[in-house]
Amino acid sequence: MKICIWEGHIMASNRLLLPLLGLFSIGLVSSNSCGLIDGEGSDENDQRGRGRGEGGGVRDLSQVQLSKRASATALTDDETITECQSQRTDSESSKGPQSGICITPINVTGLGTQVNLNTDSISGACGPGRLLQLGSTTAEGLQRGGIVVDLLTPKLSGGETSLDCEDFRNFSHVSISLEMPYIDVKQKINDSYWTVRYVFEANPLTEEEEFAKSTCAYSAQQDSISGWAFLPTTFKVKRGDVLLCEKTEETAVCADSDFQWLDTATNNFTTTRPAAPHQLALTLQMTVGKQPDGTWGDVFCNTDCDFQGGEPYCGISSFLPSITFVLAQANQFKLHTEIKAYKPKLADGQAEPTGTLDEDYLNGAYNVFTHTNPAGQVSVGTKLKIDVKLDLSSFIFAPDNDDKEAFLAKSKAEIFKSLQIRDQWRKGSLKNFGHKSDQPATVDIEVLDASTFATKESNSEKADEEEK
């Protein structure tokens, strides 16, 4: 059986193994092959998101670039750490704003696996739309896909899109979300440069007890499950771990071996994982395994099930919490896809083109993108070029701190424990589906290949007529 990785979940054959988590549902069309298209700049030899796929479902050659949005004026060191107020968007929002310290980091890096779009639809029929599934998976076996994200050194990366839900025709996209197994946030604290690593998924996968069970197996694929990793498999971390790398020079690079855990029992940092490490509260909210009501939690391995029969909660879910950025009203847009089958116009006896990626792509199912920009102008084509700029202002939040000087005078351990990703702190709960981000972003979309689309449409219509 072929095992494929999608959206932090795994699918087998043509069956999408997606747990039915409230409003979270994504339409996906796939074939028996599960590769994705590598875009310009992807590094198939990089240990963070490696491998190259063969074939694919409804493949497109769209590309995305993620970068840090520049400030209107350069911030001084003093301006990157400020006293601020933030407010939750969950049931605790009635308590009013929370005082704290806001930190604008120097950079955010990590592994990106998916970029989602969120509409202002209240129907819940579509859930988030997959703007791009990033990177690639291997054609055989099981391996974590994704691309290395570095907001200061952006590069175009290829992916696969699923925006064919009906609501996407009628509702504007109002925010964008990133799914990342881990992120590294670089910031200046006092006279040092801290890179804080937030881990949302165990590395390798079997560091999560649910996936290390003997019952979590696909016979010969068990070895592959053990090797599913987004960092070198020798770097073992568990879901929710928070680690620190401290350097005295801004340009110094943090190797994986430089990161340390905080032992909350002693308040000392250590290179080996302690019994009581500091961890992310939001990540620890995830339910694991089979629940008392017979359903499966956010993180589960259920391989004793009927894949072909469509049994719900069938497969593996590692469930990645997202980080959301809001689009200003002037930057909101509509974008949806239609999946069409191309019938080439061939001469008598002429074989259909095969062999190269482009030929296979043009000869199979393809996406047609319809984009309506904020001014109401409509563009149609078969490829997208997407430029996403993320505003990192006040990206990190340290609640319950009223005074900047007092905050910076605290011990290294106390400062470290207080640093949270502000969007996730505001969300408060994984099940807070009404969460509204206030972390800004802009998205610029260019629809490409309109001429190829017109040729396909024309040839397909002629082929249909000849079949009648």
For residue range 434-468, list pLDDT tens digits in order.
Answer: 788 999 999 999 988 765 545 545 554 444 555 55
Amino acid 47: pLDDT: 34
Angle, alpha carbons 116-119-121 (nearest 5°): 140
The model's pLDDT over 117-156, given as tens digits with 9 standing for 90+, comes to: 888 776 666 777 888 777 544 444 445 667 889 999 988 8
Rounded Cα distance, 71 and 392, in Å: 9
Closest alpha carbon to 185 in 391, 396, 408: 396
Rounded Cα distance, 98 and 90, in Å: 13
Average pLDDT over the chain, rounded to an integer: 76
Cβ(101)–Cβ(398) below 8 Å: yes
pLDDT at 29 over 70: no
Confidence of residue 110 (pLDDT cuts 50, 70, 90): very high
Beta bridge partners of 279: 241
Whether omega before 277 lies within 30 degrees of 0, making that bond cis, reads no
Above pLDDT 70, what percent of the chain? 70
Task: Write down how long the chain is.
Answer: 468
Amino acid 324: pLDDT: 94
The full set of domain ranges for the chain reads 3-467
State the pTM of this model. Answer: 0.81
| Mean pLDDT, range 392-404, rounded to an integer | 95
User: β-pairing, 157-162 with 173-179?
Assistant: unpaired
pLDDT at 220 over 50: no
Cβ(181)–Cβ(199) below 8 Å: yes
pLDDT at 283 over 60: yes
Closest alpha carbon to 273 in 257, 255, 256, 261: 261
Confidence of residue 36 (pLDDT cuts 50, 70, 90): very low
User: β-pairing, 192-199 with 107-112?
Assistant: unpaired
Amino acid 294: pLDDT: 86
Residue type (1 letter), 135: G
Confidence of residue 158 (pLDDT cuts 50, 70, 90): confident
Give the tokens for residue 91.
């049931």
